[in-house]
Amino acid sequence: MDQFSAMQSFRRVVEHGSFSAAAALAGQSHTVLSRQVKNLERQLGSQLLNRTTRRLQLTEAGALFYRHCVQILDQMEAMTLELSEHQQQPSGTLRLSVSSAFGELELGHWLPGFVERFTGLQIELSCTDRFVDMLDEGIDLCLRVTDHLPDSSLVARTLAPSEVILVAAASYLKRLPTAITADNLGEHPLLGYNRLAQPQRLQLVGPSGSQREVLMPNRVSANSPMALRAAAIGGLGIASFDRFIVHDALLDGRLVQLLPDWQQPARTLYALYPQSRYLAPKVRALLDYLQDYYRDPRWLM
């Protein structure tokens, strides 16, 4: 007996509720399907279905066998598709959504290499700071740096940690009568990202593990991290950023990190994509490429 074929037949019978419906779907005869299921029962030594003139009902053994059938058949199908796709060169249009700051500061480092490797792909890029409805907008992959993912059916693959730091321009610091400390931080204006629920509030953890919440005055607020970055470089106050946003400005001295011994809640770079039994080759190619690129820390001083 072809046990794999018999398992497929049994699954069809269970999911379609009758031998007749399953036979019609598979293009087989009622007799063949019935014989396959009976042979399965004989081989397993258990009755799988209770048959009446009106309906079929799974026995306890049948329900257990059905669950294992689904797992095994799905794994076989996934393996077959994956092996087939492994031979395919990713092609078509890849629709990618990223935040505005990430798009401006990070894509130039890795996207050219990805496009050069996969010449059959066309990239359609959407830069926005809102969480997109990936299914409704036809997005294949979304990259977000966040400390909170909304409950959804999306799959989230972790790519890299993202440290959050306090910074200010040297020109701002030179105007101060005293150095900035954790104790006087609340006297200084915070350049606030107004998409946050509390844009003027910071949560800090000290070197000894002590926690502190600081409410800071508002001087400039904006809905754009890049606008706040420009304001910080211009000396308008203190700002809190993911390190990747200010990494180059720290390296060339336009900004200075403040209170390095005090930590803020870390964030994470995620790759988000719709949950599916199979991943299209183009999506898998980008996921693997990003996983490899961000395997080593990218934003260290």
Q: Per-residue pLDDT tens for 124-135?
A: 999 998 878 888
pLDDT, position 161: 92
Q: Do domains 92-160+267-293 and 164-258 have the same CATH topology?
A: yes
Structural domain spans, the chain: 3-86, 92-160+267-293, 164-258
Q: Give 18's pLDDT tier (boundaries 50, 70, 90).
A: confident
The residue with greater pLDDT, 209 or 241, is 241
**Residues forming a β-bridge with 190:** 218, 238
Beta-strand pair 154-162/267-274: antiparallel
How far apart, in Å, do the first and last CA atoms of the chain sit? 65
Q: Which fold has domain 92-160+267-293?
A: D-Maltodextrin-Binding Protein; domain 2 (3.40.190)
pLDDT value of residue 6: 85
| pLDDT at residue 157 tops 70 | yes
pLDDT value, residue 266: 87
Q: Is the pLDDT of residue 276 over 80?
A: no
State residue 206's pLDDT score.
92
CB 299 within 8 A of CB 161: no
Of all residues in the chain, the percent with pLDDT exceeding 90 is 54
User: For 164-258, CATH number?
Assistant: 3.40.190.10
Among the listed ranges 42-51, 220-229, 260-269, which one has the minimum average pLDDT value?
42-51
Average pLDDT estimate for 15-36: 83
- pLDDT of 17 higher than 90: no
pLDDT value, residue 131: 79
Query: What CATH topology corresponds to 3-86?
Result: Arc Repressor Mutant, subunit A (1.10.10)
Of residues 161 and 78, more confidently modeled: 161
Q: Which of 15-29, 85-99, 149-163, 197-211 has the highest mean pLDDT?
A: 197-211
How much is the pLDDT for 86?
57
For the segment 18-35, the average pLDDT, to the nearest whole number, is: 83
Report the chain's mean pLDDT, rounded to a whole number. Answer: 89
